[in-house]
Structure 1
Amino acid sequence: MDGSSLGKWLCLIVYTLTLLKTEGASIPMTIVQTAVARGAVCLDGSPPGYHFEKGSGSGINNWLVHMEGGGWCESVESCVSRRDTYKGSSLKMEKTMGFSGILGSKQAANPDFYNWNRIKIRYCDGSSFTGDVEAVDPKTKLYFRGERIWQAVIDDLLAKGMRNARNAILSGCSAGGLAAILHCDKFQSLLPASARVKCVSDAGYFIHGTDISGGSRIESFFGQVVKTHGSAKNLPASCTSKTRPELCFFPQYVAQTMRTPLFIINSAYDSWQIKNILAPTAVDSKKEWKNCKLDLKKCSATQLQTVQNYRTQFLKAVNTGLGSSSSRGLWINSCYAHCQSGSVSTWLADKSPVVGNAKIGKAVGDWFYDRSAFEKIDCPYPCNPTCVRIDSES
């Protein structure tokens, strides 16, 4: 490696460490040992865990429960490949974690939620916390118990004071953002009727979209997730009573029947969705989309038009799902990004992306406390100059 290349690598390392820098001390993982007796275990049979930083002062009775993301496994084979990693076993997870963004502990960087009880639930089931299959194959030794994990962790938090919550948010990023939508009404039902309870989904609004072949590989994929994990019985009944259960893994069908206020943080050009819903590798056999998916600036004119059409699909799915509800919140930008609420640099920093003159942290706080409604959708790519930094990170 020459001096120039080494310098670039060092700069990248420093920049990455800066982005990952958290605002508080490392928070130890709480292992829910009592969950094992309930069969509420990770793919490998290990007990679930979460990280918990207690609230203080005015936030002592406020709770923010954030669910970790990390994709899904849709078959026995793909779940086996996750089983012995941190995505399938609490034994493989780092034992401490720092919080930032929506979970941050500094008042200046997170003024509305910094002193709340803040929790991150670790993700080790591969089904957005929806699975529940009693049988365990002795050959694979896989446990599909995501729904039980969620219930066991929530029960543990209720016992630690969340049952007395005055304000509460269920949030998540990516697969965790989807989980926040799927469990939103259930979460509200477990808390006091007098509590203000809302949900925030970051990069979790995965759409029932059409891919470049004209088909919908994502429908098949999500259908296999639901089948493999036995998720159908745990998806919102308000949705499954009206349509095929596997479609109720898509937010646009679930959101139509939700009672609890929901805030969507998403890019209309979500980088995961462009790579996996619009142009999945399975239908891009000639790899014509490889460079475009890495960097939208490398898309051909025809490809970029297809990407713009996907934005249209996405916005239609949002409007179909959330309708004109006065309780909904929207912060939809045009950055090529995935997950924007958990980082210091994208939540409420000086150079954080902006939509409608508001950064994410300000928009979510105003919406939660009913200071002002927030429903802003960015102009089409590449119109937003505040995306420059975040686009370069994707």
Structure 2
Amino acid sequence: MSANVFVMVMVALVMCGQWQVYAKEEKLLVKMSLVRNASAIGAYCLDGSLPAYHWHRGFGAGARNWLLQFEGGGWCNDIQSCLARAKTRRGSTRFMSKWEVFSGILSNNASLNPDFYNWNRVKLRYCDGASFAGDSMFFNGKSLLYFRGQKIWEAIILDLLPKGLGQARKALLSGCSAGGLSSFLHCDNFKNYLPTNASVKCLSDAGFFLDERDISLNHSMRFFYKDLVSLQGVENNLDKNCTSSFYFPELCIFPQYTLRYISTPFFILNSAYDVFQFHHALVPPSADPRGHWSRCKQNPAECRPNQIDTLQGFRQDMLLALRSFYNLSRRGGMFINSCFAHCQSETQDTWFGIDSPRIHNKLPRFDQTIAEAVGDWYFSRRVTKEIDCAYPCGTNCHNLIP
């Protein structure tokens, strides 16, 4: 953006009564910390390496507040894919970057992250392949895999409690994608670790994965998760109230089924056209062998009318799955926009900026960025349950193609 254009935008914001100070982002690099005592409880990454996290200390009024962010990165649901994953940064801290950029909800800049900038902010590295929820092993005499996501979660928490987390006044458990699913799975457990008088809430970004049929009418995601739950021993770590209510307890890995049992206040940030689910759940390669959806996947403007109808049906199913939460949860929050995006809290342009995504046709005083919506909900400044109108009305969208 040129200097002249920037000035014109600032003037326009002032005239509209929507003045905000948006600072230029400077990269904040935070060093990795290995959990040295993790082996005491059998907490290992897929390859047997120690788990890790990145912690940037809080300061000032936020010194006793904590934000924990689960890293995302998909899953592995069979031995072959898990063995391959164990040789990458998704399955071993040996291959991870030792420094991570903290941006968006993890930023330490008040102008870029107004409500959480001075909190203790922790990024939990993802190296188990089951959203921090598995607890088993595989060994065939040659290859060894540790499916210990639940233990990794426990080891990191136990490492942080004496460092100040155990005296937290305010806390927010968040995550993106597979990490967003982790937020659903561990929300109430997180609260149990903290002081009873602490304000504890949870946020899932792009983690509301639907139990949806694909375009060939197969339950691709259901079968994928069934194998995941079985292989990595996830079932015992799913909500017991949920699993006792289903003939197929593995279904409780889906947020739409377990959400009703979460008692901790929860915020759901999701696109109604989440591109990961669009590409892998609604139209997986197995359901489109001839590539009829290829152009639509690359650019929604290239979608044919019948394809748009399918996408609108997916959106309707998501809103239907969220209806009870929208109507009945007085402490819950939502920001469901119409961007073809996946994860919107960790990057600055989608979290809090001049052209960040906003809900269409809102009055100026309610024309919020995602950061403002989450902050208003967390601090109970107002009820935040926003659902955008259907595509193509989404405004200020980013990252349309993953």
Q: CA deviation at 1:216?
A: 1.2
Provide the residue aligned with 1:10 in structure 2.
none
Contact 1:125–1:146 (CA<8 Å) still a contact in 2? yes
Q: Give me the whole-angstrom Cα distance separating, in 1, the residues matched to 2:134 and 2:235.
A: 8
Aligned twin of 2:16:
none
Equivalent residue for 2:384? Answer: 374
Cα distance in 2 between the residues matched to 1:339 and 1:354: 15
- Counterparts of 2:169 and 2:139 in 1: how far apart (Å)? 40
The match for 1:77 among 77, 80, 83 is 80
Equivalence map 1:323-338=2 (5 Å): 323-338=327-342
Q: Secondary structure at the match of 1:142?
A: strand
Q: Is 1:218 paired with 2:221?
A: yes
Q: What is the aligned partner in structure 1 of residue 354 from structure 2?
A: 350
Distance 1:323 1:135 in 2: 44
How far off is 1:200 after superposition?
Answer: 0.4
Change (3 A) 1:134 1:277: closer
SS at match of 1:118: strand
Deviation, structure 1 residue 296: 1.1
Identity %: 47
Report what 2:122 is aligned to: 119
TM-score by length of 2: 0.90
Structure 1 unaligned segments of length 5 or more: list them.
1-20
Contact 2:206 2:271 in 1 (8 A): yes
User: Which position in structure 1 is the counterpart of 2:323?
Assistant: 319
Aligned partner letter, 2:380: D
1:304-345 CA-partner distances (Å, limit 9, x unpaired): 111111100111112245652101100000000000000011
Q: Among residues 92, 96, 101, which one is paired with 2:99 in the alignment?
A: 96
Q: Structure 2 CA distance, aligned partners of 1:275 and 1:320? A: 27
- Show the counterpart of 2:281: 277
Deviations 1:124-174 (A, max 9, x none): 000000100155443221111010000000111112110111000000000
2:33 is equivalent to residue 30 of structure 1: yes
Find the partner of 2:373 among 363, 374, 383. Answer: 363
Give how far 1:22 is off. Answer: 6.0
Stretch of structure 1 that moved more, 111-120 or 127-136: 127-136
Q: Which moved more, 1:278-287 or 1:120-129?
A: 278-287
Tell whether 2:173 aligns with 1:163. no
Contact 1:253 1:321 in 2 (8 A): no
Q: Deviations over 1:90-122 (max 9, x none)?
A: 000000111010111000111100000000000
Q: Deviations over 1:328-364 (max 9, x none)?
A: 1000000000000000111110110102411100000
| Aligned mate of 1:263, from 247, 262, 267 | 267
| Aligned partner of residue 28 in structure 2, secondary structure | coil
| Contact 1:67–1:172 (8 Å) recurs in 2 | yes
1:345 is paired with a residue of what secondary structure?
A: helix
1:391/1:45 CA distance change after superposition, 3 Å: closer
C-alpha change, 1:235 and 1:392, in structure 2 (3 Å) is closer
Partner of 1:12: none
Paired position in structure 2 for 1:296: 300
Flag the 1:34–1:240 CA change in 2: closer, same or farther, 3 A: same
Matching of residues 47-66 of structure 1 within 5 Å: 47-66=50-69
Change (3 A) 1:372 1:180: same
Contact between 1:23 and 1:104, CA under 8 Å: does it hold in 2? no
Question: Residue 192 of structure 1 aligns to a residue in which SS?
Answer: coil
Which structure 2 residues correspond to residues 1-20 of structure 1 after superposition, within 5 A? none
Compared CA separation, residues 381 and 171, structure 1 to 2 (3 A): same
Using structure 1 for the length normalisation, give the TM-score.
Answer: 0.92
Give the C-alpha shift of residue 215 in structure 1. Answer: 2.1
Distance of 2:318 and 2:177 partners within structure 1: 15
Give the number of equivalent residue pairs.
Answer: 372
Letter in 2 for 1:365: G
What is residue 18 of structure 1 aligned with on the other side?
A: none
Deviation at 1:294, TM superposition (A): 1.8
